Chains A and B, each alone.
Chain A
Amino acid sequence: MTNVRLRVQRFDPLTDVKPRMVDYEIPKREGMTVLDALLYARDYLDHSIALRFSCRQASCGSCGMKINGRPRLACYTQVDELGGEKVVAQPMDNFAIIKDLVTDLESFFSKHRGIKPYVIRSDSHETDHPSGEYLMKPEELEKILQFTYCIKCGLCTSSCPTVGTDSFFPGPQALAQSYRYLTDERDEGGKKRLEALDTAHGVWRCHFAGSCSSVCPKGVDPALGIQLLKRHVLGGKAPRTEGAVVWKPEAASVQAQK
């Protein structure tokens, strides 16, 4: 059995002045993920390593970190695919470090909340107490589908150069989700959403580096969403499919009866 050298960035803001790198020798097995290696190190070599994880199957987005210099999910990255016998795990860039590999995602989720990530209807009573089912055509769903795959892991935001320099910039995740809701045929909150995006620190500060799309573990293309959002903002209205928004409680009840 061969070993892999796992190099982990350690930093506790309460006690340390600056981060330090600590090496651990991990017995490698076939199919071992970086998360497996980190958990081995934590369980058998150093209980004080701090990391965040949950589902272990690239669904929750908790274990985002910088692995060998690139933002990745630890549970979705096999040691073998990195090539070589050394794995370097560091916390994600563009986020404050809570401890070791655990970063503070408060600003990330705050920006996500800021774009109102839910369908807004002009009839608030209907929003709170829907009387039926909002139906969408497959082609309408197709426009937003890839953006609904976002698991909010923060990798895109970690890789974004603008987020690194502009603390007010919403970031690729929030902007792509803005586009997702703006183009949702059921949504009527267009103007409210655009006001927050069309500012000096809004959607226009994206310079299309494209790193967000290249690191997304779910195949979402936030850079595309942001460019479409720019077009949307310039056009002043959503490129909706004519007559596609359907609110048919009667149709839904008919379907249910069948």
Chain B
Amino acid sequence: MRESRLMLVQYVTAVLAVVLVSIHLIMQGVLYPYTTAISFSNILSIYRNGLYATFLEALLVVTLVHGFDGVRIILHEWRQTAPWSRWVDIGTILAIVISVGYGTRTVILAVFGGVAA
């Protein structure tokens, strides 16, 4: 993929991350008191709300793509050999796929009742 497309993804995910993380923090700190927000039963009830589960999945994808792409950029600047660049790109894709996959698994298990309350 051309670097300009990747940077476009980086900019779009940056803007989305600001919005989504802000909503997340408002919900964690304002709508739900922090101490109850992290209780197991509350978390499950939140996950089982379809709208919020979708929001969490979006937050997961946006922040991971933005974060790992940012690390990719730093690593490209760190060293400048062709094998290094290739492995950085492959490693970034793998890191995103594995992290998003594992996070999505958690969301799906929680939404569809794979975890006991």
A contacts, CB < 8 Å to B: 162, 165-169, 198-202, 204-205, 230, 233-234
Give the interface residue-count category, chain B. Answer: 10 to 19
> A166 and B77: CB pair below 8 A?
yes
* Residues in chain A near residue B2, CB distance under 8 A: 198
Leading 9 A-B pairs by shortest Cβ distance? A166-B77, A200-B76, A204-B7, A168-B80, A198-B4, A233-B4, A165-B77, A204-B3, A198-B3
8 Å CB contact of A201 from B7, B8, B76: B76
Q: Given A167-B80, A198-B3, A201-B76, 4 other A-B contacts at CB below 8 A?
A: A165-B77, A166-B76, A199-B3, A204-B73
> Contact mask B1-26 → A, CB, 8 Å, 1/0?
01110011000000000000000000
State in angstroms the CA–CA spacing of A189 and B90 once bound together. Answer: 32
- Which residues of the other chain, B, contact A201 by a CB distance below 8 angstroms? 76, 80
Query: Which residues does chain A contribute within 8 Å of B8, judged by CB atoms?
Result: 234
Do A165 and B4 touch (CB < 8 A)?
no
CA distance in complex: A147, B111 (Å): 57
Chain B residue nearest to A232 (CB atoms) is: B4
User: Could you tell me the distance in whole angstroms from the C-beta of B83 to the nearest C-beta in chain A?
Assistant: 13
Residue on A nearest B78 in the bound complex, by CB: A165
